[in-house]
Structure 1
Amino acid sequence: MYIEVVKSKIHRVKVTEANLNYVGSITIDEDLLIASNIIENEKVQIVNVNNGERLETYVIKGEKGSGAICLNGAAARKAEVGDVLIIISYATLDFEEAKSFKPWIVFPDTETNRII
């Protein structure tokens, strides 16, 4: 049996930009991607702490050290600059393997989106 588990989580970052005129996705600072083990084009779930919105999209690598968290395309309608997000990716694992799996969880500074 296989189950879906949390693979990676970036807990509480602030939206720095919302770009409606872009072909969809979320741009995330490369430092956050490295720390959370999320890769470019990976599917992620976005949870908006401010308004309860949830959506799925894919990741675009942002400039390293920029603190960028930018919702692009239609996703830009789901959050405003300054909203706090939780970004989660999942993996499908064998049930027994999942019991010992440890996800990568990052708690950046919410004001700067940089790793503490």
Structure 2
Amino acid sequence: MDEIPESAAPFPHRAGNIIKINYLSIWRQNGEEASKRHIDWIRELYNYTTPYVSQNPREAYINYMDLDIGVNKVQGDTCQQAKIWGPRYYNFEKLATVKSAVDPTNFIRNEQSIPPFSS
């Protein structure tokens, strides 16, 4: 992948990547205590691996959501908030341009979706 320039595709993480990790915790118990226990556990694992992964900034593989990197907190946020975490996943400017043309009302969205420039 490092033969393709970063500007040519939405996925910028190329040279030097040896491994990808999907941190995942699933639980069936209800309640804040269970959620906190499982989220704390996955954050502990995440912190344990910190010396062995990309840093400054720590990056995430596309479709491996890392809500600690950042989220769109309010529906209708501008791209300013997503620009904080978006480049850690992909070529943010390129995808925001496409999103603006294809989904200008931001109908398709989640906590870490790219908002259109017009939102």
Tell me the TM-score range normalised by the shorter chain.
under 0.3
Larger radius of gyration: 2
What is the TM-score when the length of structure 1 is the normalising length? 0.25
Larger RCO: 1 or 2 (CA < 8 Å, sep 6+): 1
